[in-house]
Copies of this chain bind each other. A is one copy, B any other.
Amino acid sequence: MNLDRFSSSFDQNRDRIVSQWMELLAFPSISTEPAHHRDCLACAEWLVRHLHSIGFDNARLLQTPGKPVVFAERPGRPGKPVVLFYGHYDVQPVDPVSEWRTPPFTPTLLDGRMRARGAQDNKGQHFYALKALETLIRDDRLQATVKIIIEGEEECGSHGISATMTEWRERLQADLLLITDIAMDGPRTPTITMGLRGLIHLTAELSGPLRDLHSGAHGGVAPNPALELPRLLATLHARDGVIAVPGFYDGVQPISPEEKVLALSMPFDPELYRRQTGVPPTGGERGRPVAERLGLRPCIDVNGIHAGFDGPGVKTIIPAKARAKLTARLAAGQDPALCLAALEAHLRQHAPEGLTLTIVEKGVGGPGFRLSPQSEWIARAAATLRGMYNTEPTRRWEGASIPVIAGLARVSGAEPLLVGFGLEEDSIHAPNESFALEQFRNGYLYVASLLAGL
Q: Is the CB of B304 within 8 A of A220?
A: no
CA distance A306 to B201 in the complex (A): 19
**Contact residues of A between 397 and 424, Cβ < 8 Å to B:** 398-401, 424
Select the residue from A156, A224, A303, A400 with max chain B CB neighbours within 10 A. Answer: A303
Give Cα A280–Cα B228 distance, bound, in whole angstroms: 14
A261 contacts B by Cβ under 8 Å? no
Instruction: Return the contact of A285 from the options B213, B220, B306, B314 (Cβ within 8 A).
Output: B220
Least distance between A378 CB and chain B CB atoms (Å) = 21
A interface residues, tally (CB under 8 Å): 99
Cβ of A187 under 8 Å from chain B:
no
Residue of B nearest to A329 (CB): B219
CB of A219 within 8 A of CB of B284, answer yes
A211→B399 contact, CB < 8 A:
no
CB contacts under 8 Å to B, within A195-229, are 197, 199, 201, 208-224, 226-227, 229
The answer to the question of A431 belonging to the interface, with a C-beta cut-off of 8 Å to chain B, is yes
Nearest Cβ on chain B to A227's Cβ, whole angstroms: 4
A29 to chain B, nearest CB (A): 14
A426 to chain B, nearest CB (A): 10
- Complex interface: chain B residues within 8 A of A398 (CB): 216-217
Closest to A309 in B: B304
A93 to B314, CA, bound (A): 9
Minimum CB–CB distance from A425 to chain B (whole Å) comes to 11
Binds B, one of A124-132, A143-151, A170-178, A316-324: A316-324
